[in-house]
Amino acid sequence: MNILLTGGAGYIGSHTCVMLLEQGHDVVVVDNLCNSKVESLKRVEKITGKKIIFYQQDLSNAAGVDEIFKHQLIDAVIHFAGLKSVAESVDQPLRYYQNNIDGTLALCDAMLANGVKNLVFSSSATVYGNPETMPINENAPVGPFNPYGRSKLFIEEILTDLYASDKSWNIALLRYFNPVGAHPGGLIGEDPSDLPNNLMPYVSQVAVGKLSELKVFGDDYETPDGTGVRDYIHVMDLAEGHLKALEKLQAGPGLVTYNLGTGRGCSVLEMVAAFEKASGRQIPYQIVGRRQGDIPTCYADPSFAEKELGWTASRGIDEMCADAWRWQHMNPKGYL
């Protein structure tokens, strides 16, 4: 198939590019590089020995997006492009709504105008807000409590309305849990442009000596060791989930929603221990107060994706940490 990846130069997009190219698909990427570097795509080409067609462009440029569809044969789109920092979204809600929603509207317009109606969308477990019961299945109530999360939910609703208006669309809403790790070759990985917000890139930078110590946000949660519990999923497992979702769209399912997680919750301290083991380095940490907006526990019930897509996450936390460490160690300054 010919697949257009919006945001394909980013963390999850670049790993999905590798997987798609290795499976014999052709890949076109559109990315404005606001949170990534073109070097990631060069590395993907190096890993796979295949070429990527790249457009450096903002998705909100409707005419530019339309041009891509006019010049390239596209069978399906995976829509990764978006801003993703929760804290930044609280400070700059208009920028987040504008970027994430306008970009999606321009993309869907161009798809409609050019008769491409197969779409996989990067949603997030953040749409569930503070869930009442664990594990979380796709029917759990939604209720995100920050602008980033709401932008994801609004887009899910826009796509649901689009499907209701025209049942010839096939749309997969993929709700990711906590993607971590890297391609095992160490050439591509997560490359945060600022101080990392998320746990694992922070831990990696402590291990490599870029940051002095980790701050553990709270040890008084009702969890086995008091620290927050999350469902960490290897980015290569996540990438495979996208391939399975694309296959599913070929069967014409209409609009479908899947959790992509492992179903296993791990605490902050468990992840720190696993990273120490993988890296052979000590991760100094200090327990501090809870981070505002954090929930105690969040992990998926991934059984619907397993049943419908034949997909399960197979990589455990030791592999996640070993691969994240290889990337960090081989590229201490990221892509440069």
Looking at the annotation, which residues are catalytic? 148
Number of residues near ligand UD1 (by CB under 6 A): 21
Residue ranges in 52-71 that form contacts with ligand NAD under rule CB under 6 A: 58-60
Residue nearest to ligand NAD (CB): 10
Which residues neighbour 157 within 8 Å (Cβ) at sequence distance 6 or greater? none
Residue from 4, 5, 10, 279 in contact with ligand NAD (CB under 6 A): 10
Asked whether position 146 contacts ligand NAD by CB under 6 A, the answer is no
Tokens of 246: 């694309």
Asked whether position 65 contacts ligand UD1 by CB under 6 A, the answer is no
Cα separation of 58 and 184, whole Å? 30
Asked whether position 99 contacts ligand NAD by CB under 6 A, the answer is yes
Give min distance, CB of 130 to ligand UD1, in A.
11
Pick 38 or 287: Cβ nearer ligand NAD: 38
Residue nearest to ligand UD1 (CB): 228
Rounded-to-10 torsion of CA 87, 93, 96, 102:
170
Pick 251 or 267: Cβ nearer ligand NAD: 267
Residue of 291, 281, 275, 262 lying closest to 323 (CA atoms):
275
Residue of 117, 125, 92 lying closest to 258 (CA atoms):
125
DSSP secondary structure string, 68-95?
HHHHS--SEEEE--S---HHHHHH-HHH
Give min distance, CB of 167 to ligand NAD, in A.
26
Q: 25, 100 in Cβ contact below 8 A?
A: no
Residue 291 DSSP SS3: coil
Asked whether position 237 contacts ligand NAD by CB under 6 A, the answer is no
Pick 110 or 268: Cβ nearer ligand UD1: 268
Determine if the peptide bond prior to 196 is cis (ω within 30°). Answer: no
Binding mask 181-200 for ligand UD1 (x = CB under 6 A): ----------------xxx-
Asked whether position 293 contacts ligand UD1 by CB under 6 A, the answer is yes
For residue 32, the partner it binds in ligand NAD, ligand UD1, none, with Cβ less than 5 to 8 A by kind, is: ligand NAD
Residue from 23, 215, 225, 332 in contact with ligand UD1 (CB under 6 A): 215
Asked whether position 227 contacts ligand NAD by CB under 6 A, the answer is no
**Residue 220, Cβ density class (10 Å: 0-12 exposed, 13-18 middle, ≥19 buried):** exposed
Cα separation of 57 and 59, whole Å? 6
Tokens of 232: 């960490």
Strands (E), 153-251: 170-176, 178-180, 214-217, 229-230, 232-234
Asked whether position 13 contacts ligand UD1 by CB under 6 A, the answer is no
Pick 64 or 186: Cβ nearer ligand NAD: 64
Q: 172, 120 in Cβ contact below 8 A?
A: yes
Number of residues near ligand NAD (by CB under 6 A): 26
Tokens of 63: 């005419």
Asked whether position 122 contacts ligand NAD by CB under 6 A, the answer is yes
For residue 330, the partner it binds in ligand NAD, ligand UD1, none, with Cβ less than 5 to 8 A by kind, is: none
**Which positions lie near ligand NAD, rule CB under 6 A?**
7, 9-13, 31-36, 58-60, 80-84, 99, 103, 122, 124, 176, 179
**Which positions lie near ligand UD1, rule CB under 6 A?**
86, 124-126, 149, 178, 197-199, 202, 214-217, 228, 230, 268, 291, 293-294, 298
